[in-house]
Amino acid sequence: MGAETGGAGKWGTVISRIFAIAALFWVAGLHADGPARDQFRPQRTVVEAARREGHLVIYGVVHADAAVKDLLDAFHRRYPFIQITNSDDDGARTYQRFRREVASGKPSADFIWSSAMDLQEKLINDGFALPYALPQMPYLPGWAHWQDLGYGVTLEPIAFVYNSHFVSPAQMPRTHAGLQAMLKKDVHRFHGRVAVYNPEKSEVGMLLLSQDVRVTRDNWELFDVFGAVEARLYSTSRDMLLSIIRGDQWIGYDVIASYAEDMHKVHPELVVVYPSDYALLLSRVAFVTAAARHPNAAKLFLDFMLSREGQSLLKDHGMGPVRNDMALPPAQSKLDPVRTQAIRIGPGLLSGLDSLVRAQFLRRWQKGRDQNG
């Protein structure tokens, strides 16, 4: 997943391009939600077993409080006999916590969903996911699941954002090269005014920034300019957005757009830009854990999350649905499907977790900050 992944990097690029072509036909056909064929009828045996379990423990790396609340409230209304314990934390900490608890035989999560796609794939690959061919499968494209183990539950573009109180629409670039040129031309003005993920502390940040380099190595020049303007580093998109709303920073890079679109409803000065040269597409990966103490309750939750009702609730908060019979949120209709670079669920994500690849990426990242900062 880093800058030089050899054959694995080339294969990942091929997969991304194949997925982008598939996404072209998928997005182009989504002019309106299809007929409500899915009435969400989970297996009766699963429902009865979940009733006996009576509890569900969820570990999330979502950082979208309103979306999660709406989703959990709706699920609880449908299944009031299931008590929910929900925990939301950083991707790396959640990953380490889960593995530590399972290794020691302690109670842990029944269900995990996270935007840290590579860590989720690592858990799946290491046998921590319970196979489950859910009833929603006919409505999911093949790329949205991996061997009945891991499921993509959203499709979310990665975007630029800016505060229109400080940067005008005419000034704000629409491409990665344009952003680089603007910042390089006026380093003094934008000094300390750009917000970027910290790849050393954020697993999602590491994933997105390394995917940028996989798309084109020219992005190293952009990252070097981030060093020149002393871009401020953050661990989450939410923290970046809050700093931009306050005016501490003016521009955010590689932000998960669903957060920004949701905040834009209250803070119209926060403007989302979907890059016209290419846009990464992220999917939050979910699975039922192999050692779940309440596996049937977890299966019901996964069923619900991928039902039309669950997907509609997430869509209301800017998270694009993965179902092939539902339209994208209106704001995402601006995306050019030919220019999307989807991050596909599967073993290709594991290359970025290799310690040598990560170390190489971080050395190059830090070199740009040291030379230009």
Which stretches of the chain score pLDDT less than 50? 1-32, 34-36
Quick: pLDDT tens for 232-276. 999 988 899 999 999 999 999 999 998 898 899 999 999 999 999
Quick: pLDDT tens for 183-205. 999 999 999 999 999 999 888 89
Single-letter residue type at 213: V
CA 172 – CA 163 distance, rounded (Å)? 10
CATH of domain 158-281+351-372: 3.40.190.10
User: 3-class SS at 73?
Assistant: helix
Neighbours of 371 (CB within 10 A): 10
CA 44 – CA 303 distance, rounded (Å)? 13
CA 246 – CA 196 distance, rounded (Å)? 16
CA 198 – CA 253 distance, rounded (Å)? 11
Q: What is the pLDDT of residue 373?
A: 56
Quick: pLDDT tens for 146-190. 888 999 999 889 999 999 999 999 999 999 999 999 999 999 999
Domain ranges for the chain, please list them. Answer: 32-155+282-330, 158-281+351-372
CA 354 – CA 5 distance, rounded (Å)? 10
Contact 105, 246 (CB under 8 A): no
The reported pTM is 0.78
Q: What is the pLDDT of residue 191?
A: 97
Q: What is the pLDDT of residue 41?
A: 72
Q: What is the pLDDT of residue 353?
A: 74
CA 268 – CA 245 distance, rounded (Å)? 10
**Site of tokens 């932000």:** 255
Contact 256, 272 (CB under 8 A): no
Burial 99-132 (b: 16+ CB within 10 A, else e): beebeeeeebbbbbbbbbbbbbbbbbbeebbbeb
- Class assignment of domain 32-155+282-330? alpha beta
Contact 193, 246 (CB under 8 A): no
CA 269 – CA 245 distance, rounded (Å)? 8
Helices (H), 79-202: 91-104, 117-125, 176-185
Neighbours of 48 (CB within 10 A): 11
Contact 278, 175 (CB under 8 A): no
Single-letter residue type at 159: A
